[in-house]
Amino acid sequence: FTCNLSDLLCCLLGLLYQEYRDKSTRQEIETRRLQDSQTDPEESSPSEETPPEAEPTSTTENKAPPQISLLRNSNSRFNLWQDLPEIRSSGVLSILQPDEIKLQEAMFELVTSEASYYKSLNLLVSHFMENERLKKILHPSEAHILFSNVLDVMAVSERFLLDLEQRVEENIVISDVCDIVYQHTVNHFSVYITYVSNQTYQERAYKQLLQDKPAFREVISQLELDPKCKGLSFSSFLILPFQRITRLKLLVQNILKKVEEKSDRETTALDAHKELETVVKACNEGVRKMSRTEQMISIQKKLEFKIKSVPIISHSRWLLKQGELQQMNGPKTSRTLRTKKLFREIYLFLFNDLLVICRQIPGDKYQVFDSAPRGLLRVEELEDQGQSLANVFILRLLENADDREASYMLKASSQSEMKRWMISLAPNRRTKFVSFTSRLVDCPQIQCVHPYVAQQPDELSLELADVLNILDKTDDGWIFGERLHDQERGWFPSSMGEEILNPKIRAQNLKECFRVHKSDDSQRRKLGSRNRQ
C-alpha cells in the first residue's frame, strides 16, 4: 500500500506531538489498569483487542494492494492500525495471529508518533523561530541559544520519517521498523545530544528574556494564543527533542516485548534499543554536566574549613543531597532526656563520593568540622524511640577527617526525610522491599498516573505510565522506587502513582524488563552496586 509524508501529517491533523504523546501514555495507563483488575494478564484490553474477523475479500493474484490514507479523518480519536478501513477490508486481520496484530500496532505507533513529532517541530520552526517580529527582538546569539540546532534535529526527523514511510509502503503488513531505528540512531541521532546538552543554557536564556525584554514576552504570548498551538506553551515545544528521544526508546521497548523470541526482529529491536539507550544516556549526561559544575563551584565558595581543607570541585563529583539535621549533644546515656537542648543544628553536603559535615555561620557560609569518604559511611535506625527521639538515626564514619571512627546521632524532621538521608548516605543498605536486580518473582510495583518533576537531587522525575518497583515507602507519603525501563532510582510522592495489585501483572512487567535488557548481562550484574542517583 502507498502513503507519503503529507499523508502521515494529514493523519494527525489537529494532533500535535504533545497531544499525541499524552493520549498514548494515558491509554497505556488505562490498559494497565484494566489488566491489573483481571485474573489473567493475557486477557485482551481495549488498546490491543483483536477486532471481529473481517469478511475475507476475494482477491486475484494481480490485484494491487490497497492504498491507505493514514487517519485522514480530522477528529482527535487515537486510531489504531487495525481500525484503518483499508486494513479491515483487506482480510488480513482474519489471517494474522493476535500477537502479530499487537506487534503491528506497536510498530504503527512508532511511525505515526514520528509524524506527529515532526509536525510539532515544524511548528516550532515556522511559527516561532522564523517569526519576523521575534527575529528583530532577539540578538543572533540569543536566538542560537534559544533554538540551538533545532533545524538539524528537524532534518533528521524528516529523513527518519521518510525511511519509515518507505517501509510502510512495501506491504500492508509492516515487516519491521527497528532496523531503520538502528541505522538512524547510529548515523544521525547525535544531533539530539547537541540539542539536549544545551538545555540548561536554553532554560536560563528563556527566563532571562522573559524578564528583561517585555517585547519578547509580548510576542511569545501572542504566538502561543494562535489556534495552531492548541493552547500549548512555547516551552513545551522547546523540550520536544528530549521528550522524543526518550519516548522513542520506550516505543522500541514496546516492540521488543511483542516480537517473537530468538527471531531476526528481536535481534534488530535489541540492537536499536541498545543504541538508543546510549544516546539517551549521553543526553542525560550532557544536561547534568553543566548544572553540576556550576553547583559545585557555588558550594565551594560557601565552605570554610575548620579542619584540613578538602578540594570539593572535581569532574567526577556531584551533589546527591544537602540539608539540615539536628545532632544530639552529650553521651548516649542522655537519650531519655526529653528536651530540645539535646540537639543542635548541623548541615550536611553529601556528594557521590564524599560527605562534608558543617555548621551554618553568618553570611550564607558553612564551617566544615568533619568529613569522610561516602564508601566509609554506615547508618543505623534507632528502635523503640520515644516521641522526642522519633526519626533519629546513627551515622558512623569509619574513617573521618582525623583518620578515626566517629559517630553522630542525628534527628530528621520527618520519617521520609530520615529514610531519604539513610538511603543516600548508605546506598547499599538493604531496603524494605527487593529491587529489580534481585530477580525475585514478586515485588511491590506502582505505575505513574501524574507526571512529577524532581525537586531535590535524591528525587526521581516521573513520566506518565512509568512502572517502578517500590523499594521503600514511608508513613508520610513518600516512595523510594526503581524505574523498570532504565533502573533509575529515587524518591517521589506516593500520590503520583497507583500500586499494581495483580501479582501476575507484576511478574509480567519484570519478565518483559529482563527481556529488554538481556543483550547486556554484564551490565545487569553491575546494576545492584551502581549508584543511579
The strand pair at 365-373 and 377-381 is best described as unpaired
- With cell 517473537, the residue in question is 260
User: Cell digits for 23?
Assistant: 493520549
Q: How large is the average pLDDT for residues 140-147?
A: 96
User: Cell digits for 368?
Assistant: 566544615
How high is the pLDDT of residue 86?
Answer: 81
Q: What are residue 396's phi and psi, to 5 degrees?
A: -110, 130
Q: What are the pLDDT digits (tens) for 408-441?
A: 999 999 999 999 999 999 987 666 665 545 555 5
How high is the pLDDT of residue 379?
Answer: 95
How high is the pLDDT of residue 40?
Answer: 56
| CA of residue 489 relative to chain centroid, distance | 11
Give 365's DSSP letter: E
**CA distance linking residue 245 with residue 440, whole number of Å:** 31
More confident residue, 62 or 133: 133
Q: What are the pLDDT digits (tens) for 49-75?
A: 433 333 333 333 333 444 444 433 334
467 DSSP β-pair partners:
447
CATH dotted code for 5-30+79-293: 1.20.900.10
Q: How large is the average pLDDT for residues 323-343?
A: 66
How high is the pLDDT of residue 80?
Answer: 79
343 DSSP β-pair partners:
328
The strand pair at 365-373 and 303-305 is best described as parallel
Q: How large is the average pLDDT for residues 72-96?
A: 72
How high is the pLDDT of residue 523?
Answer: 46
How high is the pLDDT of residue 433?
Answer: 65
Residues in the chain: 533
Amino acid at 173: V
Closest C-alpha among 309, 341, 329, 244 to residue 18: 244
Mean pLDDT, the chain, integer: 84
Model pTM score: 0.79
Q: How large is the average pLDDT for residues 221-229?
A: 96
How high is the pLDDT of residue 5?
Answer: 43
498 DSSP β-pair partners:
447
**CA distance linking residue 189 with residue 104, whole number of Å:** 24
Amino acid at 482: E
CB 187 within 8 A of CB 163: no
Q: How large is the average pLDDT for residues 129-142?
A: 96
Q: What are the pLDDT digits (tens) for 396-409?
A: 999 999 999 999 99
For the domain made up of 306-330+340-425, give the CATH fold: PH-domain like (2.30.29)
88 pLDDT band, cuts 50/70/90, is: confident
**CA distance linking residue 61 with residue 95, whole number of Å:** 17
How high is the pLDDT of residue 75?
Answer: 40
Domain ranges of the chain: 5-30+79-293, 306-330+340-425, 436-522
**CA distance linking residue 53 with residue 149, whole number of Å:** 48
User: Cell digits for 292?
Assistant: 553540576
Q: How large is the average pLDDT for residues 150-160?
A: 97
Q: 3-class DSSP state for residue 472?
A: strand
* Burial label, 100 (beta-carbon count in 10 A; 0-12, 13-18, 19+): middle
519 pLDDT band, cuts 50/70/90, is: low
* H or E element, residue 410: strand 406-411
How high is the pLDDT of residue 7?
Answer: 54
**CA distance linking residue 142 with residue 207, whole number of Å:** 12
For domain 436-522, give the CATH superfamily: SH3 Domains (2.30.30.40)
* Burial label, 116 (beta-carbon count in 10 A; 0-12, 13-18, 19+): buried
Q: What are the pLDDT digits (tens) for 231-268?
A: 999 999 999 999 999 999 999 999 999 999 999 999 99
Q: 195 vs 11, 242, 243, 244, 337, CA distance in Å? A: 28, 8, 12, 12, 58
CB 345 within 8 A of CB 439: no
How high is the pLDDT of residue 513?
Answer: 86
How high is the pLDDT of residue 441?
Answer: 53
CB 43 within 8 A of CB 504: no
Q: What are the pLDDT digits (tens) for 277-314?
A: 999 999 988 888 878 888 999 999 999 999 988 889 98
* Burial label, 24 (beta-carbon count in 10 A; 0-12, 13-18, 19+): buried
CB 106 within 8 A of CB 159: no
9 pLDDT band, cuts 50/70/90, is: very low
